[in-house]
Amino acid sequence: DGKPNFEHLLQKFGEAVVPVANCDVKEYNSNPKEQLPFKEYVEYWREYIRNGYRSSRGCLYLKDWHLSRSGLIPIPLADVYTTPVYFSSDWLNEYWDAVAVDDFRFVYMGPKG
């Protein structure tokens, strides 16, 4: 139905610790990041949706999570993620695909709004 399957995500990654940026705060021309359990981020995400895409915690963004490097999935990232057609010509993703050294991908995993 086009919505995240929170239960599945929590089952697979709930205990993972992920980097989360607060988009409402600027420090040195950047957003500060903190490490949160993924289950806490999902709790925030659900609250954000329930409250009309608002939260007293601000707009949090799960940023730069190296999922395949984390050891949480035993298969290559290509088996769990496909780049949307509108972003498929992103030169940096193509570079990382070519060198096969890192799992860095431009993937949005957060609330819309």
Which pLDDT score is estimated for 51?
Answer: 93
Which residue's entry shows tokens 């600027």? 26
Average pLDDT over residues 63-78: 66
Asked if 9 and 29 count as a contact pair (C-beta separation under 8 A), the reply is no
Q: Can you read off the two tokens belonging to residue 58?
A: 């601000």
- For residue range 10-68, what is the model confidence (pLDDT) as tens digits? 988 888 899 999 998 888 888 888 999 999 999 999 999 999 998 999 899 998 887 76
The better pLDDT of the pair 95, 14 is held by: 14
CA gap 88, 29 in Å, rounded: 28
- Give the up-direction half-sphere exposure of residue 12: CA atoms within 13 A in the CB hemisphere: 13
